[in-house]
Amino acid sequence: MLRVSLAQVDAVVGDLAGNADLVLRWCRHAADRGAHLVAFPEMVLTGYPAEDLVLRRSFIDASLRELAGLPARLAADGLADLAVVVGYLDRRPDALPRIGRPAGEPQNAVALLHGGQVVARYAKHHLPNYGVFDEYRYFVPGSSLPIVRLHGIDIAMTICEDLWQDGGPVKVATVANAGLLLCVNGSPYERSKDDTRLALAQRRAVEAGAPLAYVNLVGGQDELVFDGDSLVVDATGRLLARAPQFSEGLLTLDLECAPAWDDRVGTVPAGGGTDLAVVRMTVSSEPLPPPAGPISGGIADPLPEDAEIYSALVTATRDYARKNRFASVVLGLSGGIDSALVATIACDALGPQAVHVVGMPSRWSSDHSVSDAEELARRQGLAWVLQPIAPMVDAYSAQLDLHGLAAENLQARVRGTLLMAMSNESGHLVLTTGNKSELATGYSTLYGDSAGGFAPVKDVPKTLVWRLARWRNATAEARGEVAPIPSECISKPPSAELSPGQLDSDSLPPYDVLDQLLIDYIERDLGHDALRAAGHDAELVERVIRLVDAAEYKRRQYPPGPKISLRAFGRDRRLPITSRWREPAAPEVREPETLPEPTPT
């Protein structure tokens, strides 16, 4: 019987000393629970993903120093007998400058610490290079799999993508008859990904014929948000324990593992034309007596979809502000649904005292826009300021002869200038309020409503904005609280209010129609003909593709925001700004030409 703790923690990229303190603090908690083994997520010492920092020699050196100092700190704290598995940044021991390899040959690695020393090291074998991952740019793969015997149980360590790919370390661990497969992860959140993770863990545990313990990061890092969802399954795939999403904590349970019996070493084919060397190490061969007071870990229910998405947005907003040392945020509150949801997310993330909202009515703003915004601020206890912009717009207009769209966008740019000035004066982080549907079609004004530091709903389509707002109100009312978002903000027809009587529907199709088309084009990468075959109107397909492609330069200048979808704008979807490629319509069918007979020469 092995008592295992999985430390689902929120590390900060680049704060190596702080992350080492974090590891030490949670090791104490694990020891207090009688754990024999505690595991931390992928690259927890450096934070993840560290991107181009890993290419700096100084950063790798700092990671190695922090790792080298941890065993002594654990021993000094009376934790020498606790086995600690910790992710860190390493380099190949024979690293030399090589063309086509990342500078310094960094490795995404994990180490097992025990008895005041580093007992074993393992470097990630499968390096993902799709979606948000660029690990072939940053790392070189490992070539061995350590099997560590702890209290008579053979433990194999793997890292994230090693579990997702067939073969590799899981296959080698199976051949080596490991009694426990331990996987440390930095797996970002996407909608419904928790179901995929559990099914994957179950499949790999059955393949290995051993229990599988999966520990994941939690917290926000720029455009990524990690939901934790750490779990343990037995050798049959049965779920034994699961941690809550989006919260730090320690998942501890007593785990039945097969006793060690295989001492073979050597090189094992790992699939894909690669081999991994099995390296065995022994910490202790004798099993421990059963721990006093059995611990089962508990199984947290996955969050319902709307609660899960909303929690991801709140977590990402809180961590972006906290980790970048912003104590407060500011945003324009228009009385519309997008700014209403962003203000509510910010309030839940940081508390009402840290959220400043500004009403900036123009000549064409309706009275209810101001009153709805003020009512939202009152309900949530936000700091409300009213700053009419008509005099400032008039001052600009006196200098410039602007008409049509240029005159409309001037209003948005005055608002952006106001918010950025307040940010400079008071140190607030400016939150932008544009949703994914607007960003996709270019309905965001550069240096206007796109001006800011973080974009909480950047990856949230308009229809989902409404859904989340209704969900948030419903949860408040179910607790006997006042709904945070006035119903008028949700029910009114959407409008930018930049011209008399303007509505989004004047120039865009209904959002339920538009959003499905955008999902098919952006997330599923369907081309013109495939979109028509999927049932979308041919004329609308032509128009929307044109809008999306033309707005790429705008999106490149938009602030970062949390990824929640299969494919988000930013690091997840990278297209050239300067490009003459346009999705072709179906070619016309023409009769073959009759060619003239060749003329002899």
CATH code of the domain containing 497: 3.40.50.620
Quote the pLDDT of residue 391.
92
* pLDDT of 590 above 90: no
Confirm if 115 and 246 have CB atoms less than 8 A apart. Answer: no
Stretch among 91-95, 228-232, 564-568 having the lowest mean pLDDT? 91-95
Annotated active-site residue in 27, 66, 135, 160: 160
Give the domain range for residue 271. 2-302
- Do both 316 and 196 map to the same domain? no
Q: What's the number of domains the chain is made of?
A: 2
Q: Same structural domain for residues 295 and 405?
A: no
Q: Do 327 and 237 share a domain, yes or no?
A: no
The last residue of a domain, from among 270, 286, 302: 302
Q: What are phi and psi of 301, to 5 degrees?
A: -75, 135
Query: Catalytic annotation on 497?
Result: no
Same domain, 355 and 504: yes
**138-149 mean pLDDT:** 93
**Which is catalytic among the residues 27, 66, 105, 124?**
124
Give the mean model confidence (pLDDT) for residues 133-148.
Answer: 91
For the stretch 506-527, pLDDT in tens is: 778 899 999 999 999 999 989 8
**Phi-psi domain of 383 (left: phi exceeds 0; alpha: psi -120 through 50; beta: other):** beta
pLDDT band at 288 (very low <50, low <70, confident <90, very high): confident
CATH number of the domain within which 30 lies = 3.60.110.10
Is residue 160 part of the annotated active site? The answer reads yes
Section 269-290 average pLDDT? 86
Tell me the β-bridge partners of 8: 249
Tokens describing residue 214 = 């999966």
Question: Is position 42 annotated as part of the catalytic site?
Answer: yes
Among candidate residues 282, 302, 322, the one where a domain is terminated: 302
566 domain-assigned: no
Structural domain includes residue 519: no
Same domain, 235 and 162: yes
Catalytic pick among 27, 42, 438, 497: 42
Give the least confident one: 74-78, 377-381, 551-555: 551-555
* 306 contacts: CB under 8 Å, gap ≥ 6: 467, 468, 471
458 and 335, same domain (yes or no)? yes
Pairing of strands 153-159, 180-185: parallel
Residue 266 shares a structural domain with residue 406: no
Same domain, 233 and 331: no
Of 277, 302, 327, the residue at which a domain comes to its end is 302
| Residues 153, 57 share a domain | yes
Identify the residue with better confidence: 199 or 591.
199
Given a cut of 70, whether residue 184 has pLDDT beyond it is: yes
Whole-number average pLDDT of the chain:
91
Q: Is the pLDDT of residue 593 over 70?
A: no
